[in-house]
Structure 1
Amino acid sequence: MKTVLCYGDSLTWGFIPDGTGRHALQDRWPQVLQAELGDAVHVVSEALNGRTTAFDDHLSGFERNGAKTLGTTLGSHFPLDLIVIMLGTNDMKSFVCGNAQGAKRGIQRLIEIVRTTQYQFRAGTPQILIMAPPPLRRVEIAEYVEIFAGGIQQSQLLAGLYFEAAQLAGCGFFDAGSVATASPLDGIHLDAENTRAIGKAVAPIVRQMLDSSV
């Protein structure tokens, strides 16, 4: 059986845009991906609200720096055939990073961690699929406007920069913004239809990458 790890933030966790909780399991994109791939593949969802690529954010009781927790996550779930990384939205917060180039560097750091981790029992290094999150969307919520000051424009650059990073490192790439749009309720998160769309759209790419590793 092949194993796929989805490493992400609230967009992967399934945060409902109106703030009322979490999407039903069947509506979260990793579980939609699981349904599309079938029983021959095991999809593991490892998501945390507020997670960044590689930047500290101490406004939570959880470790949000994705670079600090990725190694432990890999150690918990190996052997892995593929890791799908969709992060960067929280990097757009002005007090975290605030620019797309920083998020690109963060993604490159995560790729490096996956590639240099010493896996036990001669487990091979997993393939990597980088996913650019859907861009932020302007909403009339004063708090979000301040938190993501300048972030909307910067988030629109993520897909192009992530594509460059993926190409340079020999990773797969998918632009989730090509099939999903942030909710007008908060300008950040995804409604059920849009998160399902990501799972369906990325499935053929994941399947092709898994088949190529045979």
Structure 2
Amino acid sequence: MPAASLADTDPLQVLVYADSLSWGIVPGTRQRLPFPVRWPGRLELALNADRGTPVRIIEDCLNGRRTVWDDPFKPGRNGLQGLAQRIEIHSPLALVVLMLGNNDFQSMHPHNAWHASQGIGALVQAIRSAPIEPGMPVPSVLVVVPPPIRTPRGPLAPKFAGGEHKWTGLPQAVAELCAQLDCPMFDAGTVIHSSAVDGVHLDADAHVALGDALHPVVRELLPR
């Protein structure tokens, strides 16, 4: 048999760079939803069902990840640190889906929607300028704005106290930023809500709905 070429074997790779909303934490627990249910998995399955070229979703979703700020209690939650190297590690990438922002509004931070949008902008620039091997593509970036924080409940209540107010205006601030950067954006709050259980994370049905909503958006951004 002839050796398979790279075109025969290598899928298009999409990196999801995100936090616990995409990791798939079950609200009110420390459990994780299964891959076919959480939105990156739902998206991969849908893309592979209707494309000739296979697609692989790479999940890089860290609980508590901010855009560009440190967590004073847990190391490694600054999303800017190591991002360029992640792009290099996973290259070639066809697309990076960036869904961060809500952890910027934890109670230990004074940030508002404008601050978070600027953090997102720094991440987009880092992705676009990351070191990659010669001839490999600079991936496109899709910014997904997370849904609004509700009144935080349960163990998350002190961590996210006041977060629902700090979040206000995030879609508008990110839309303005993405227009300046010529970067596509999707507002998850137009199709899903945060869980009523803890006010922050996503229930299983929200994951499914978000994966389904992102399917046509991502499909159009991938090379044909």
**Fold-level match, TM-score > 0.5?**
yes
- Greater helix fraction, Structure 1 or Structure 2: 1
In the TM superposition, 1:1-214 aligns within 5 A as 1-38=11-48, 40-60=54-74, 62-141=75-154, 144-211=156-223, 214=224
Contact 2:85-2:130 within 8 A present in 1 as well: no
Residue 140 to residue 82, structure 1, CA distance change in 2 (3 Å): closer
1: distance between equivalents of 2:17 and 2:183?
Answer: 15
Q: CA deviation at 1:140?
A: 4.7
Aligned-partner residue type, residue 34 of structure 1: E
Deviation per residue, 1:61-90 (Å, 9 max, x gap): x40000003112112101111100000010
Q: CA deviation at 1:177?
A: 1.0
Greater Cα radius of gyration, structure 1 or 2 = 2
Q: CA deviation at 1:124?
A: 1.7
Deviation per residue, 1:109-147 (Å, 9 max, x gap): 001101111211321211000000011001454x64443
Contact 1:75-1:119 within 8 A present in 2 as well: yes
Residue 206 to residue 140, structure 1, CA distance change in 2 (3 Å): closer
2: distance between equivalents of 1:32 and 1:97?
Answer: 35
- Cα-Cα RMSD: 1.6
2: distance between equivalents of 1:145 and 1:58?
Answer: 18
Tell me the secondary structure at the aligned position of residue 76 of structure 2: coil
Aligned-partner residue type, residue 72 of structure 1: Q
2: distance between equivalents of 1:102 and 1:55?
Answer: 10
Residue 97 to residue 15, structure 1, CA distance change in 2 (3 Å): farther
TM-score between both structures, scaled by the size of structure 2: 0.88
2: distance between equivalents of 1:73 and 1:87?
Answer: 16
Aligned length: 210
2: distance between equivalents of 1:65 and 1:140?
Answer: 25
Residue 161 to residue 135, structure 1, CA distance change in 2 (3 Å): same
Structure 1 equivalent of residue 7 of structure 2: none
Identity level (%):
37
Structure 1 equivalent of residue 6 of structure 2: none
2: distance between equivalents of 1:164 and 1:19?
Answer: 35
Contact 1:90-1:96 within 8 A present in 2 as well: no
Unpaired stretches in structure 1, ≥5 consecutive residues: none
2: distance between equivalents of 1:145 and 1:67?
Answer: 26
Q: CA deviation at 1:98?
A: 3.0
List structure 1 segments (4+ residues) > 2 angstroms apart after TM superposition.
Answer: 143-150
